[in-house]
Structure 1
Amino acid sequence: MTGDTAEVATQNDLAPAALPAADTPAEAKKRKPKTAPNPKRQKEARQRLDSLFSDRSNVWVIHYSCESFYDRPNGASPRITSLAVRSLDSAQTHSFSIHQVAERLKVPFAEIEARYDELERQMLDAYYQHLGAHRGMKYLHWNMRDINYGFAAIDHRYQVLGGTPVLVDDARKFDLSRILIDIYGVAYIGHSRLEKLIEKNEIQPRDMMTGAEEAQAFIDGNYVGLHQSTLRKVDVLANIAERAQNKHLLTNTTWWEMHGGNLRTALDWVADNKVIALVIAVIGLVLAIYAIA
């Protein structure tokens, strides 16, 4: 499972509904969600993204798959199946997975479940060795923010298995999902956002699974499929990040919403164009002198 939650239809979702009365233009305008991004946060988010690409040789795109973190009445931490880190610069990818560890140790597939903790510990040993060998790197991720799903969840799982994690400073973690919200506004794409972005931009999902599919794959013991999905997701995240940085990412946010209206657009354009600003200042000065005369 990943940071995207599955959208499950309930019986009420599937039941036929009465057709709503048509909104008047005024009501439709009132009901429309505000999607325009905050100008200050938008600028800061673009700067963060630009800084990552200007230092791309020191940036890893990271993602991982795990057991479902929902419906866990005993409170046990979700077991991890695979992790991948991809260089934003070279696209070289390092991956760590249960089935590969089992293969190296000559553990038959049928015995993976019985020896899962042992295999998971060795997988995470290799992952943290990689982190330790690349200290100071930056990590671009998707919703890896807390103890349910994120760096803290991996650290906790490793501690449960008896390991001592190599900690990544929070200042070196960059959440692409939040960056995109700051750039394009909270309603820039439907849910689940990652899948909808892939559809909107015609990115081939190939081996990528949804969160619900990954949860089922874990139950089914489809560790190879989970690994392939994780590998595909770091590629997709790098692709989306590059399109956003190049301002080529397609979203549901309109040009008007992106730029906050004509007045803000004009003011920003003048502020960014020193020659135009100078010309306007000179014209204003000439008009002022003419008025006095």
Structure 2
Amino acid sequence: MNFIQSKRLKQRNEGLKDLEKSLENKEKTLIIHYSCESFVNLFGRSPRITSISIRNLQTGQTISFSIHIQAQINRMDFNNLSDEDYDKLEYYMLNEFYEFAKERLKFKWIHWNMRDTNFGFEAISIRFRILGGSPLEIDIENRYDLPRILSKIYTYDYEDHGESGKLLSLCARNEISFRDALSGKKEAEAFANRNYLDLHKSTLNKVSIIESIIEKTENGSLKVKVKPKEIYGLTISGLREIVANNWILNLAWGIFIFFVGYFVQKYLN
């Protein structure tokens, strides 16, 4: 049992344990990120997927599945795709992704906010079903949402969202290169303009960025917006909680208050 306890420290320890668990076998740890159509003005339709990039944390080897590459394999002009062409290429792309994932379902999959049907593993699964495919299920317990882990370790306010989102803001703070990475807004514009190559490069860059953030978090060198007193819960309310949760500190505080009161009363008398 830890000598010093508080909700903040408990949450931080949970985050550190989640990180350690995700990295316990780096040879079987993958970083995944993908780009897709904007969520806006789809009128309930699921967003089309443009590219998926996956990097092995041990070897650094990266594999990509993208409309840009698939169009070239099928000898099609990716700058002039009809909706029917896109559906066909997207199906081939997602089928290759699931073929890759089939032998790695038990691996650890680290991602950035891929946690719902708008943007996430479920969103990829839904798209493949719509296109006529049969997706595989990557175990939920093997999915690790890095922003959630960072929120536990450093508090939710570890970085400002800003215009470009927390990922790119964190890059700027830590001097991590993000030359080819696009913000969500820029990615939506790139899709609308059929700049699939830019989206492909952005996705590749982002798995590299996520790897750098993981490394800095693991070695304790990640720079965040919040101060150490907030990270460790050493605010006034946090210190009160720490004292209240430890009988030794509580007793020491009681004795301290008793003697302060005693000497103040003696002085006044």
Does TM, normalized by the shorter one, top 0.5? Answer: yes
TM-superposed deviation, 1:180: 0.4
| 3-state SS, counterpart of residue 109 of structure 1 | coil
1: distance between equivalents of 2:35 and 2:120?
10
Which residue in the other structure is 1:83 paired with?
52
Q: 1:186 to 1:214 in 2, by over 3 A?
A: same
In structure 1, what residue type is equivalent to 2:184? G
Structure 1 spans left out of the alignment, 5+ residues: 1-35, 268-293
2:221 counterpart of 1:251: no
Cα deviation 1:236-269 (Å, max 9, x = unaligned): 00110111111110001112122222969x99xx
2:211 counterpart of 1:224: no
Given that 1:208 and 1:232 are in contact with CA atoms closer than 8 Å, whether structure 2 keeps it comes out as: yes
In structure 2, what residue type is equivalent to 1:60? L
Structure 2 matches for 1:83-162, cutoff 5 A? 83-114=52-83, 115-162=85-132
2: distance between equivalents of 1:220 and 1:194?
24
In structure 2, what residue type is equivalent to 1:127? F
1: distance between equivalents of 2:21 and 2:116?
24
In structure 2, what residue type is equivalent to 1:80? I
Which residue in the other structure is 2:233 paired with?
260
2:168 counterpart of 1:195: yes
| 3-state SS, counterpart of residue 64 of structure 1 | strand
The alignment covers a number of residue pairs equal to 232
Given that 1:63 and 1:84 are in contact with CA atoms closer than 8 Å, whether structure 2 keeps it comes out as: yes
TM-superposed deviation, 1:113: 3.2
CA RMSD of aligned residues (A): 2.1
Which residue in the other structure is 2:263 paired with?
none
TM-superposed deviation, 1:110: 4.3
In structure 2, what residue type is equivalent to 1:71? N
Structure 2 spans left out of the alignment, 5+ residues: 1-5, 244-269
Which residue in the other structure is 1:182 paired with?
152
Given that 1:37 and 1:184 are in contact with CA atoms closer than 8 Å, whether structure 2 keeps it comes out as: no
| 3-state SS, counterpart of residue 119 of structure 2 | coil
- TM-score by structure 2 length? 0.82
- TM-score by structure 1 length? 0.75
TM-superposed deviation, 1:163: 0.3
Cα deviation 1:131-156 (Å, max 9, x = unaligned): 00223111000000000000000000
Identity of aligned residues (%): 40
Displaced runs of 4+ in structure 1, greater than 3 A?
Answer: none
Given that 1:37 and 1:185 are in contact with CA atoms closer than 8 Å, whether structure 2 keeps it comes out as: no
Match of 2:184 among 177, 198, 211: 211
